[in-house]
Amino acid sequence: MTKKDLIEIVAQKAKLSKKAAKQAIETFLNETMKALASGETVKLSGFGTFKTKMFKAKTIKAIGSKESKKIAARRMPRYIPGTKIKKMVK
């Protein structure tokens, strides 16, 4: 499913125009990204939790050349599925 598909489904089920559905979905996505960027956790009951995880800096060896490379510490987004979604996918 793509974002375009989701917009069409929301527009149809909520009886909204495609423009209104697109605005609603984009607002949701933008606010979720802003919350994650500021270090907040986003919990959607039954669907799951979006949060960020901090990874330490580390040194790795490249497979082909065997050179050592340093990877800087970074924060990455994570998704933890809720119980309802786990049961549906099972």
The pLDDT, as a whole number, for residue 42 is: 97
For the residues 66-77, what does the mean pLDDT come to?
A: 90
More confident residue, 19 or 67: 19
The pLDDT, as a whole number, for residue 75 is: 94
Determine the 3-state secondary structure of 3 from DSSP. helix
Where helices occur in 1-90 by DSSP H, the ranges are 3-13, 18-37, 83-89
Q: What phi-psi label fits residue 48: left (phi over 0), alpha (psi between -120 and 50 degrees) or beta?
A: left
Q: What is the pLDDT of residues 21-69, one digit of tens each?
A: 999 999 999 999 999 999 999 999 989 999 999 999 999 888 888 788 8
For the residues 73-83, what does the mean pLDDT come to?
A: 95
